[in-house]
């Protein structure tokens, strides 16, 4: 009798263990903060519909969902809701909410449990933005463990740029939240936005074609622009580093054509009023595009192609700073005749507890008169800097 009770208890506990409860598996993170809008992401582990409860105090009071063509989003995994009509300088409180859908048929929908995050807050940029700073990380290669220490030591920063090769590949897209967005959410991203830049490693893996689910950009593309204060940001997508025909891409790469299309877009953006009126112009691109300066190697075709297609446009338009990574060796390339007309700051990586000195981040401070980029080691010591005064 006793044996059968013990067996029953074991079966019950195994059964409940196997049946994972509906839960939030990645806390919220912000992207695409504009003057009056921001997009909130989070992840759940089952099919759900989601919404955000928000307000200007902890009572919340406003419910926001996302719909396309009249249909409210339903999906498993990453959830994405854009908050709009926000006011400059206002502090907003919010929590993310999801309700499981256990059956989704034409004439039958059955809801399951609901889950709610804790309450978070963010503050919209003031108008005008007088001065600001931002942080730049690159080549995390699935290790975001050190980012929280850096962001905690610079509490004044406005946003953080993740300048490519943040994962090593995207074979299992749940790893993207597990290793990247969850630590970033814990560090700062519930309150301040992430700016995502696609590097060459983001293009690799079975789920790389689903990467748009994790990005929200003003253009809906991986290349885009935005203005923050007096500064215009150009976020460029470098594509892959080798020839499209390289055997490592298995006949699935078409980046030469992609970069040509991107260059047409870039040519138009630098003609815009917003670009021309900005005091400072900053480019974020994963691969450093002044290839001669970093020592070209035979298979750096992608880097050379970026240099050939983007650099003449940037040089002619006049940009103040290019931020890159990719080489895993930190370095500042000052402007060089015949190549870049502005400095290129290359961040070091990837992080290793055994050799943290290889890893750097860049802190960029912008005021009404100057732009200063400081290449920093993980002890918070400045390694080198570039400064532009206007
Ligand atoms: Fe790279």
CATH number, position 74: 2.60.40.10
Residues 171 and 274 in one domain: yes
Least reliable range by pLDDT among 120-124, 233-237, 333-337? 333-337
Residues 73 and 152 in one domain: no
Per the structure, the complete domain to which residue 218 belongs is given by 132-389
Residues 139 and 68 in one domain: no
Q: Is 288 part of any domain?
A: yes
Closest CA to 376 of 352, 359, 389: 359
Question: Mean of the per-residue pLDDT values for the chain?
Answer: 92
Residues 189 and 143 in one domain: yes
The pair of structure tokens assigned to 276 is: 């021309």
The answer to whether the CB of 133 falls within 8 A of the CB of 361 is no
Cα(19) to ligand 1 centroid in Å equals: 39
Cα(273) to ligand 1 centroid in Å equals: 32
Cα(301) to ligand 1 centroid in Å equals: 13
Cα(199) to ligand 1 centroid in Å equals: 6
Q: Is 2 part of any domain?
A: no
Residue 351 — pLDDT band, cuts 50, 70, 90?
confident
Instruction: Give 181 or 334, the one with higher predicted confidence.
Output: 181
Q: Is 67 part of any domain?
A: yes
Cα(346) to ligand 1 centroid in Å equals: 11
Residues 149 and 73 in one domain: no
Q: Is 284 part of any domain?
A: yes
Q: What are phi and psi of 6, to 5 degrees?
A: -60, -45
Domain count, the chain: 2
pLDDT over 70 percentage in the chain = 92
Residue where one domain finishes, among candidates 123, 152, 167: 123
Cα(256) to ligand 1 centroid in Å equals: 17
Quick check: 295 pLDDT over 60?
no
Least reliable range by pLDDT among 96-105, 116-125, 238-247? 238-247
Cα(133) to ligand 1 centroid in Å equals: 25
The pair of structure tokens assigned to 309 is: 């297609």
Residues 269 and 217 in one domain: yes
- Pairwise CA distance, residues 329 & 268, whole Å: 33
Cα(280) to ligand 1 centroid in Å equals: 26
pLDDT over 90 percentage in the chain = 81
Pairing mode, if any, of strands 231-236 and 280-285?
parallel
Cα(165) to ligand 1 centroid in Å equals: 5
CB atoms within 10 A of CB 51: 18
Residue 298 — pLDDT band, cuts 50, 70, 90?
very low
Q: What is the pLDDT of residue 12?
A: 52
Quick check: 64 pLDDT over 90?
yes
Cα(243) to ligand 1 centroid in Å equals: 14
Cα(86) to ligand 1 centroid in Å equals: 36
Cα(278) to ligand 1 centroid in Å equals: 29
Residues 168 and 243 in one domain: yes
C-alpha distances in angstroms, 373 versus 139, 176, 190, 262, 376?
Answer: 18, 28, 25, 26, 9
The pair of structure tokens assigned to 366 is: 């912008």
Q: Is 14 part of any domain?
A: no
Strand, helix or coil for residue 36: coil
Is the pTM for the entire model greater than 0.85? yes
């Amino acid at each position: 009798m006793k044996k059968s009770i013990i067996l029953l208890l074991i079966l019950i506990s195994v059964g409940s263990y196997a049946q994972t409860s509906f839960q939030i598996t990645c806390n919220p993170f912000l992207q695409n903060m504009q003057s009056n809008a921001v997009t909130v992401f989070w992840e759940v582990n089952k099919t759900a519909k989601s919404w955000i409860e928000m307000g200007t105090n902890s009572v919340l009071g406003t419910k926001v969902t996302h719909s396309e063509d009249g249909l409210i989003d339903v999906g498993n995994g990453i959830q994405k809701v854009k908050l709009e009509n926000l006011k400059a300088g206002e502090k907003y409180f919010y929590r993310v909410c999801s309700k499981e859908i256990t059956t989704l048929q034409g004439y039958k929908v059955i809801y399951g449990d609901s889950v709610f995050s804790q309450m978070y807050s963010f503050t919209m940029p003031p108008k005008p933005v007088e001065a600001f700073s931002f942080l730049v990380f690159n080549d995390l290669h699935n290790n975001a463990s050190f980012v929280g220490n850096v962001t905690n030591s610079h509490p004044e920063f406005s946003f953080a740029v993740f300048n490519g090769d943040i994962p090593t590949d995207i074979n299992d897209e749940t790893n993207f939240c597990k290793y990247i967005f969850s630590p970033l959410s814990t560090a700062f991203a519930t309150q301040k936005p992430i700016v995502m830049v696609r590097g060459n490693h983001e293009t690799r893996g079975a789920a790389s074609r689903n990467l748009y689910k994790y990005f929200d950009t003003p253009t809906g593309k991986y290349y885009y622009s935005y203005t923050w204060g007096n500064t215009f940001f150009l976020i460029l997508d470098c594509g892959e580093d080798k020839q499209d025909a390289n055997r490592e891409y298995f006949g699935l790469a078409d980046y030469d054509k992609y970069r040509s299309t991107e260059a047409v877009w870039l040519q138009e953006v630098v003609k815009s009023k917003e670009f021309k009126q900005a005091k400072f112009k900053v480019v974020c691109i994963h691969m450093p595009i002044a290839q001669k300066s970093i020592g070209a190697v035979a298979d750096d075709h992608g880097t050379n192609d970026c240099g050939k297609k983007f650099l003449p446009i940037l040089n002619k338009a006049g940009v103040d700073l290019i931020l890159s990574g990719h080489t895993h060796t930190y370095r500042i390339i000052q402007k060089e005749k015949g190549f870049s007309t502005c400095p290129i700051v290359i961040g070091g990586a990837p992080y290793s507890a055994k050799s943290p000195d290889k890893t750097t981040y860049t802190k960029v401070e912008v005021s009404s008169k100057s732009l200063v980029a400081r290449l920093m080691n993980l002890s918070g010591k400045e390694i080198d800097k570039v400064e532009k005064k206007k």
